[in-house]
Chains A and B, each alone.
Chain A
């Protein structure tokens, strides 16, 4: 007969997964992916942003499967993302051409094109709305009908919103840089090396965990950093994505294919800095901190713009100016994965440390006796 291995681990895992399914199903309620897509847009935006995968449908599915856990939903989408072939690279997108839904400036009251508040929670009073407990379809329909009746027709008029910063550039308060057409590196295909290029930095920041990016941006703003920005422009809206023909690309943008649009939040923060001119005199100028992310997530995008500016000044003494400190610790999948691995057995490593401590203790008592 002989001894056989106890299949304890296999059995335990199987039972645990069954239990997990039971916990998900036991209330006998089902949420449709479509319901999540329609009613939890902010959550979907965050998941898409942190996963670097723009697909509201898949994000909603991930949220359903993850039972609402952010880190789990992001993890699912990231793992799915790495199985997808990457066939094309899109053409450069110019957010100045954004189909704007919301656009404000904290720097100027009268910006060319005007302030457009759009849909924002900023001025809602955060009081729990108990009426939502009794919301029903007829109520919604009536409300929507009223709302639509009150809308003004604009008859094909499209307002163009120039960038706020252009106005200041003309005045010479911002330096004008030539366009940088270096192909960006892809941090998911090449491992990050330091000093990191700006394209790598922006990619890491935009897919950073919302909470982590916000916390570090806040730390810098509050005192552990040297960047005190004014938000020059917040834009939320949709950007068209085009790609050239992979083989027979003519180089003419007119021939590009339109493959869809993405909704993003874009921030340009204005940061005053002192620069030395040719005669070694100090002069005050502005620089831009840039933030952008999928969906509407203004806090994250603003925090990103602060960190972008911090990392442009590595001479700062604070950890928020240290690119390794910032870029290596804000990724949701990496941070949550390594923290949670502490739950794995560490019997061997602990035994080894135990041995080392015992040996030392024994050594010390030998010396004393």
Chain B
């Protein structure tokens, strides 16, 4: 009764089915394509959408990187990597530049992606209009009629209540001037990276059974008003206490000794890379 698993867990029929949904998603940027989401050996809500995309695309030559909220070593990233490497044997890396396929939860890496890379984002709630309309049947109609007044009103209400828009992560975007899309809970800081991206960006929501995409060089703009422009998270004046990086997304920590607030790169592989570069530079200087 012991069964051997197929390359990349799925049978080829399932992979083909998911790839067909992906092709449709690429052809209609920002449109949520329903797909027959499989039950995976990891829990629904723990990255099964992204995982299914990754497994349907991955080949023996691929080089894989998996991150969870910026970190390569976060427990769930490790767990996903373990499953993929067990069923495929592909090379796992942490350096963003070395990867051909990157599965990520809630971050787009700091290093700009290239046209030879595919970024797969895990999505918990694919429907950007869910906050204003609970019914899936209704939101489908709203999208088809391009009736986005609800999404705009939500932002407007925030302006009225708080004096500015108060979105956290998952700030909705307009894709290719047609569909409003949930960029998955990436911080607002990462939203601009979706615009005219060199890399193909795919989104997978396993529990909600939806796949969508931002193809390379597509226009993506974050929802905002002319007089209340879109704003990313501000880390003005702060930098990484390890590598000194500025203009990156930072984690806020408390120094256990001084009890002061310190900041650190959220993208762990980027930080590591910089630390090594800094060290090499220092070594060169010392010996020069």
Identify the A interface with B (CB < 8 A).
Answer: 2-10, 12-13, 75, 78-79, 81-83, 85, 188-195, 322, 324, 328, 333-334, 336-341, 344-349, 351-357, 359-360, 363-364, 367
Contacts and interface: CB of A to CB of B under 8 A. Distances in A.
Interface string B3-41: 101100101000000000000000000000011111111
Contacts of B35: 191
Contacts of A81: 39
Contacts of B37: 191
Nearest to B125: A338
A194 to B, nearest CB: 4
A328 B275 CA distance: 47
A349 B163 contact: no
Contacts of B72: 5
Contacts of A4: 272
A2 B279 contact: yes
Interface centre among A3, A4, A346 (most CB of B within 10 A): A3
B73 interface: yes
A193 B3 contact: no
A336 B78 contact: no
B9 to A, nearest CB: 7
Contacts of A6: 73
B272 A3 contact: yes
Interface stretch (B133-141, B144-152, B212-220): B133-141
A128 B5 CA distance: 45
A80 to B, nearest CB: 8
B5 A83 contact: yes
B46 interface: yes
B220 to A, nearest CB: 18
Contacts of B266: 347-348, 351
A78 B137 contact: no
B78 A348 contact: no
A134 B44 CA distance: 43
A348 B94 contact: no
Contact of B207 (A195, A337, A364): A337
B169 A349 contact: yes
Given A5-B269, A346-B69, A190 B233 contact: no
B41 A334 contact: no
